[in-house]
Amino acid sequence: MPVFDYQALDPKGKTVTGIIDADGAAAARQKIRDMGSFPVKVKEVTEGETGGKARGPSFSGLFSRVTPAHVSLWTRQLATLTGAGFPLVTALTTLVSQTKTQGFAKIAARVKDSIVEGNSFAAALSGYTGIFSPVYINMVRAGESSGTLEIVLDRLADITEKQQALNSRIKSALAYPVLMALIGILVLFFLLTFIVPSIASIFSDMGKSLPMPTQILITISNFFKSFWWIIGILGAGALAALMQARKTEKGRYHWDRTLLRMPGIGILIKKLAVARFARTMGSLLENGVTMLSALDIVQNIVGNVLLSQAIYQAAEEVGKGQGLGASLAATDRFPGLSIQMILVGEQSGELEAMLNKIADVYENEVEATVMSLTSLLEPLMILVMAVVVGFIVLSICLPIFEMNELIR
């Protein structure tokens, strides 16, 4: 069924916009009238406008981009409606009109139309792999096969909400240090580029040799004033080269290996990856996905090449009859605590519950680690700024002290 963008006037004369699905433009206009609004403009949305598997960025797309938060909210609403007894198509139809993000509303409408045409829910979602992850699609497929789609959607909503909550807490913890660092850099750049040269011109008129700190400060200031554009170009070039290198297999491998070896950061990345692995693995196994299929899925979502390779190697050993815990232990990439908990889960027959417990443990540890790192970063940044500003003040004051001595 075609999907239409519309612009209409509500009973109060205010302009409203949205999307609606109908058999044709005339039917769409009639639906809008039935909702109590007067249609002004109705335009059919083409397939390319709904954001399929891959699409280049556009200016308008920046304001209608589908984020994981949108998917999380939509999944929770869909789980609530299906859990209340709504048929899937009816629930999707209801959510199409309630989804505020235009881009996502169009995708939801296309998914619903695909189901009406006879496709499964998982098959309809698989047309939008840029929006719905392989984990999401495979869990929906398992839920449809086992007749427990309502339960699966509820679990998916829990997973996505927990991931969003963790990401939000990490971003909130890092926001203040990052903001302070940016402000500090801008202030120093302003001092070195505009303020120091003005003061340095006064000292140059003295005709006497300046103290060494003052000479160093003036040299740095002159460099920033004359070659700030080179610094900008070099910084942008280095960033572009790094991003390009990360797109290659070798570059991504070296980058991920470097991150894992960094003090403090490496253990944080590993814990976050293990939490993501355990949460996803446990959910897939709970919903009837086989061990090998689940391992094949999760190796692409841990976010680190080295850990992905470890999961791939473990999957090969599991295929030969080894247990999951022993296979992961052989890779020497996963923390010892997670291996021990997996072994206990396999021995007790409660592997799925133990994987979820591992995810809870490491998510809490990640949050605690981020909080401790940020608590250390704040005084460290203040100390660095104090040293730099103190050096600038000292470099300016030393010639002034010498001038006072000459006056006496």
Q: pLDDT, tens digit, for every residue of 271-322?
A: 888 988 898 888 888 877 788 888 888 887 777 888 889 999 999 999 998 8
| Rounded CA separation 214/394 (Å) | 8
Judging by DSSP bridges, how do beta strands 15-21 and 38-45 pair with one another? unpaired
Whether the Cβ atoms of residue 19 and residue 109 lie closer than 8 Å to each other: yes
Q: Identity (one letter) of the amino acid at 9? A: L
Query: 282 or 50: which carries more pLDDT confidence?
Result: 282
Whether the CA torsion 262, 268, 270, 272 is positive or negative: it is: negative
Q: What is the pLDDT of residue 61?
A: 42
408 has a pLDDT exceeding 60: no
369 has a pLDDT exceeding 60: yes
**Stated length of the chain:** 408
Burial of 234 (0-12, 13-18, 19+ CB in 10 A): exposed
Average pLDDT over the chain reads: 81
Q: What is the pLDDT of residue 377?
A: 80
> What does the angle CA 195 – CA 200 – CA 202 come to, to the nearest 5 degrees?
110
Quote the percentage of the chain above a pLDDT of 90.
9
The closest of 241, 365, 251, 370 to 305, measured between CA atoms, is 251
The closest of 408, 401, 404, 385 to 214, measured between CA atoms, is 401
Whether the Cβ atoms of residue 19 and residue 35 lie closer than 8 Å to each other: no
Q: What is the pLDDT of residue 207?
A: 61
Q: What is the pLDDT of residue 55?
A: 40
351-407 and 336-348 are packed helices; what angle lies between their axes, rounded to 10 degrees? Answer: 170
